[in-house]
Amino acid sequence: MLADALGATRTRSTSAGAELTAARDRLARVRRAAAAVPERVGAQRDRRLAEIDTRHAARLADLARRAADAARREAPGAASAGWDGWAPTPAGRGETPGSVRVGTVHIDGAEPVPALVPLLDAGHVHLAGGDPQGYATVVPALLLRSVGRADPGAVRLFGYDPEHLGGGLAGFAPLGTAGLLTFVGPGGLGRLLDDLVEQVRRINETVLAGEYRTLRELAAATGRRPEPWRVAVLLGGDELSRHERGQLDRVVRTGAACGVHLVVRGIELPDDPTVTRVLVGPGQARVGDLAVTLDDAPPAALVTDTCRGIASRVNAGPAPTPFADLLPPADRMWREDSAGGLTAPIGEGPHGRPVLLTLGDYPPHALIGGPSGTGKTNLIFAWIGALAARYSPAELEFYLLDFKEGVSFARFAQGRRDPSWLPHMRLVGINVNTDREFGLALLRFLAEELRRRADAAKKHEVTKLAELRAVDPTGHWPRIVAVVDEFQALLAGRDVVAREAADLLEDLARRGRSQGIHLVLASQDVRGIEALWGRPALVAQFTLRIALPKALRILAERNDAAQSLPRHHAVINAESGLVEGNQVARIPSASDWESWSDLQHRLWRMRPQDAAPARLFDGDAVPRLADAPDFRGLNPPEEGVPRSPVALLGEIIDVQARSAVLRLPRAPGRNLAVIGTRVDEACAVLDAAARSLARQHRPGEARFSIACLDPDADPAARELYADLADDASWYDEETLPELMAEVGDSLGSPGVPSVPHYLLLYAVDAAAGQLAARAGRRTGLEQLRRILHDGPERRTHVLGWWRGVARMRVDLGGAGARTDQIGAWVALDVQGAELGSSLYPGTGGPDWYPRPWRGLFFDRAVHRTGQVIIPYGPTR
Ligand SMILES: Nc1ncnc2c1ncn2[C@@H]1O[C@H](COP(=O)(O)OP(=O)(O)OP(=O)(O)O)[C@@H](O)[C@H]1O
């Protein structure tokens, strides 16, 4: 039993020993494992921490980069650029200048972020901290950057520095010369604050006027900035009085909306969201909660140079408002209806509101005055542009006449370099200074249009244009604006032209109002106005007066507003010039090439498909026969259809480019005499006559006999001879008597020649000697008289050039001889008085003052008075 027990015990002991060993092993393993755990976890934790760090740094860098980007957008150009190469970069119109940079915020491992301080259109800056160097860095940086972000003159500074802290304001002194920096002496703070509060009140009431909450909103909506920013820099001083404290609080609360801002040191500002607090230390500052490393101060020379530049720009006069301000937005072009009148802005009034010009029933007509160079031409451009952009050519037409020398208005018509024209422009007359007839033609044309409108109104039983348009909606009844620059030229002189012009003007002024015909007369010359003054009934119709600086007699007698006008401004007065009607407007520059072309091209592209270019009459240009519509329209008659030929002599001075026409039917007197010593003009008239006649005959169906007795005329006559080819024959001094004898004698034989015969006799008076001799049964002169007398009925017409009235009379048979065989004549350098008696109806002859390249054409069969013509220029 014991042995058994021993054996069993041993076995238990052995297995217990084995268990023990196993347990120890386990323990050792567990101990080993336990020892490894913290090591692993720590590594993992470290790994995670490192990951988080990297992510954080990347995010920080990303945020810093985005903040820096945003800052650069918020403060572009002059608002943040480094001082090296710094220059003003004014914000665009309607844009806000944004915040300005004073330093940088540094974040470890990220790019530095510009530290911005909002000022213009945003709020106020309060500076604290005791470091004078810091102030001298921050204040000029703030101010220079702000000034550089606005148009020259758009920021006004007020300095209050009773303790002479300086604060960096000194460099801005040059602004004072342009009234852009005002220092307020000790004791002046109250007044300055009162004034700022008053500005805020005024701007709220009259500029924002309940329509906008802030100037910034107004600028964004209209693109205009009617008020400057006002920045008061207040540097220390005594304790504020209660009143001053109250005013300062008011400015803090309400100033920013009206562009009134404070930069303050040493005076407490109330807590307000618009106040940015800057704590200034040496080279460092806290802006709000941010630690900022301050930028260097702007170099002193940069500050003074910039301020000097701005002051000189401002002293040079206000920058004109851009022309674009007068134009409607692109989608509103040509949308206005002119039935009731024509209204358009002409410039900006004192509070930035547009000043409007109206033409309609009242006021119907305008008078513009101002000495040379004050901007009349520019004003006319501005007005025409503002109207043309609003009213389509179906609503408005322009006629424009410029009596002074110059071509600026030629731009309205199609040119060689610029194919565009103003679609509303029907007629442009330039260089018409000596061609008052052209002015007269325009007035006659308008008078005719007035009659047409009045007739139509009568037919529809209405009286006014608006009513006529209502009852005849498909009719073409645009309002017509006729502009005459330097109109006094038209009324100068006491002759028929001046009298008729004044009568027509008076009629148009009186009755044009209701028919939508408006006159705009401009003059630089007091005498111009005085020419009208003699006709009070005429002047009374011009109720709209526009006076440019220093204009005399445009406004009423005791209204001298024009005398103190700054450059590029005008007094607009729709009350016949009475003081109550004065409105001052700043006129934008419209006549410079770029502004005008841009608009004209835009309108030109909008023109109706069938729009024809404006007719351009240039008094300095010589028309060409080949271009004349009447010449192009000529052709031989159809077989068997009789038609009396016509000779074109030159261009009539008229609204349309028409030719002066001489009919040559088979009737007595149908001859032409060109009278005067001017070779080129005489040749031009005969040449045009011959070429136009030739165009109406087929080859071989007309005979042209050319005789030239003036060597100077020889080249021209020979050229004609060559061009008429087989239909022409050439005669000279020797052979002319033969021609006279042949033609004269043939007139005695019965029957009518089958082809017409035109005798072109150049300087025929030079042949008097040769013609005095007998040629056949008669002398040459007798033959000539016979041809003149009997020829036309037998299709034989003389187109002769005599170099003087007396010489012609001799050829016709002496001083007392009849002249009725000369049915028509063109006088060149011949005084009107010489043409009296038998050549012209009435006594004393026509009102004709010879002038280069003009002739007076009179055809007794059709004319009551002479007609001024422009000979056509050389053909080749
Ligand atoms: N509002 C303006 N803004 C900018 N420049 C202007 C303005 N008005 C006129 N000017 C400029 O002044 C100059 C003279 O103007 P303009 O030719 O219109 O004067 P004017 O009175 O018609 O003179 P004149 O009778 O001698 O022709 C021009 O160079 C013109 O561009």
Tokens 């244009």 belong to residue? 465
CA atoms of 691 and 659, how far apart (whole Å): 13
208 within a domain of the structure (yes/no): yes
* Whether 680 and 822 share a structural domain: yes
Structure tokens at 875: 């053909």
* Whether 276 and 162 share a structural domain: yes
Beta-carbon contacts of residue 289 (< 8 Å; ≥ 6 apart): none
Q: Which ligand 1 atom lies nearest to the CA of residue 320? A: 3
Q: Which ligand 1 atom lies nearest to the CA of residue 587? A: 1
| Domain tally, the chain | 3
User: 568 CB less than 6 Å from ligand 1?
Assistant: yes
Phi, psi of 585 (to 5 degrees): -130, 145
Whether a cis peptide bond, with omega within 30° of 0, leads into 226 is no
pLDDT for res 822: 93
CB 603 within 8 A of CB 586: no
* Whether 277 and 381 share a structural domain: no
* Whether 361 and 297 share a structural domain: no
Q: Which ligand 1 atom lies nearest to the CA of residue 382? A: 1
Number of helices and strands in the chain (H, E): 21, 33
pLDDT for res 320: 54
* Whether 291 and 382 share a structural domain: no
CA atoms of 262 and 243, how far apart (whole Å): 17
CA atoms of 454 and 460, how far apart (whole Å): 10
Distance of CA 116 to the CA centre of its chain: 41
User: 321 CB less than 6 Å from ligand 1?
Assistant: no
* Whether 759 and 685 share a structural domain: yes
CB 63 within 8 A of CB 70: no
pLDDT for res 135: 84
Sign of the torsion formed by the C-alpha atoms of 679, 682, 684 and 686: negative
Longest Cα–Cα distance of the chain, Å, equals: 202
Distance 374 CA to ligand 1 centre (A): 5
For ligand 1, atom 2: residue with the closest CA: 589
Structure tokens at 278: 């800057």
Question: Is 374 annotated in some ligand binding site?
Answer: yes
pLDDT for res 875: 64
Range of the domain at 360: 345-552+583-618
Averaged pLDDT in 10-residue chunks for the chain of 876 residues: 92 94 93 87 91 90 91 92 93 86 89 93 91 85 94 92 78 89 88 94 90 91 86 88 94 95 93 93 87 92 94 73 84 93 92 89 93 92 96 96 84 87 94 88 95 94 92 93 91 81 92 94 73 74 94 87 90 93 93 87 92 89 92 85 89 92 94 95 96 92 93 94 91 91 86 85 91 80 91 93 92 83 94 84 85 94 91 79
Distance 436 CA to ligand 1 centre (A): 25
pLDDT for res 815: 75
How far is the CA of 331 from the CAs of 32, 334, 376, 383, 390, in angstroms? Answer: 86, 9, 30, 20, 10
Structure tokens at 395: 């609503």
65 within a domain of the structure (yes/no): no
* Whether 720 and 764 share a structural domain: yes
User: 375 CB less than 6 Å from ligand 1?
Assistant: yes
93 within a domain of the structure (yes/no): no
Question: Is 372 annotated in some ligand binding site?
Answer: yes
pLDDT for res 723: 92
Q: What is the dihedral of CA 570, 575, 579, 584, to 10 degrees?
A: -20
pLDDT for res 532: 64
For ligand 1, atom 11: residue with the closest CA: 375
pLDDT for res 108: 84
pLDDT for res 126: 94
* Whether 753 and 654 share a structural domain: yes
ipTM given for this complex: 0.97
How far is the CA of 304 from the CAs of 137, 165, 168, 373, 670, in angstroms? Answer: 15, 19, 11, 34, 84
Q: Helices in 419-521 by DSSP H: which ranges? A: 436-459, 465-471, 488-491, 496-515
CB 500 within 8 A of CB 535: no
CB 658 within 8 A of CB 648: no
User: 566 CB less than 6 Å from ligand 1?
Assistant: no
Distance 551 CA to ligand 1 centre (A): 14
Distance 567 CA to ligand 1 centre (A): 10
Question: Is 109 annotated in some ligand binding site?
Answer: no
560 within a domain of the structure (yes/no): no
For ligand 1, atom 26: residue with the closest CA: 372
User: 523 CB less than 6 Å from ligand 1?
Assistant: no
Distance 568 CA to ligand 1 centre (A): 8
CA atoms of 263 and 124, how far apart (whole Å): 6
- The domain that contains 506 carries what CATH number? 3.40.50.300
pTM over 0.90: no
Distance 585 CA to ligand 1 centre (A): 15
Distance 535 CA to ligand 1 centre (A): 30
Q: Which ligand 1 atom lies nearest to the CA of residue 406? A: 27
Question: Is 373 annotated in some ligand binding site?
Answer: yes
* Whether 351 and 250 share a structural domain: no
Distance 378 CA to ligand 1 centre (A): 5
Distance 524 CA to ligand 1 centre (A): 12
Half-sphere exposure of 23 (CA within 13 A, CB side): 6
DSSP annotation of 243: H
Instruction: State the DSSP string of 59-76.
Output: HHHHHHHHHHHHHHHHS-
Distance 347 CA to ligand 1 centre (A): 15
Q: Which of 321, 323, 348, 378 to mutate to test the pocket of ligand 1 (most atoms within 8 A of CB)?
A: 378
495 within a domain of the structure (yes/no): yes
731 within a domain of the structure (yes/no): yes
> 618, 637, 664: which is the final residue of a domain?
618
* Whether 842 and 740 share a structural domain: yes
Q: How many CB atoms lie within 10 A of CB 211?
A: 10
Which helix (H) or strand (E) is 136 found in, with range? Answer: helix 132-148
Distance 523 CA to ligand 1 centre (A): 13
How far is the CA of 59 from the CAs of 53, 63, 107, 292, 718, in angstroms? Answer: 10, 6, 12, 21, 95
Q: Which ligand 1 atom lies nearest to the CA of residue 380? A: 18
User: 374 CB less than 6 Å from ligand 1?
Assistant: yes
Q: Which of 323, 326, 377, 380 to mutate to test the pocket of ligand 1 (most atoms within 8 A of CB)?
A: 377
720 within a domain of the structure (yes/no): yes
Q: Which ligand 1 atom lies nearest to the CA of residue 588? A: 1
For ligand 1, atom 24: residue with the closest CA: 372
User: 194 CB less than 6 Å from ligand 1?
Assistant: no
Closest to 216 measured CA to CA, from 334, 341, 91: 91
* Whether 510 and 642 share a structural domain: no
Question: Is 376 annotated in some ligand binding site?
Answer: yes
667 within a domain of the structure (yes/no): yes
For ligand 1, atom 15: residue with the closest CA: 375
CB 767 within 8 A of CB 736: yes
* Whether 218 and 308 share a structural domain: yes
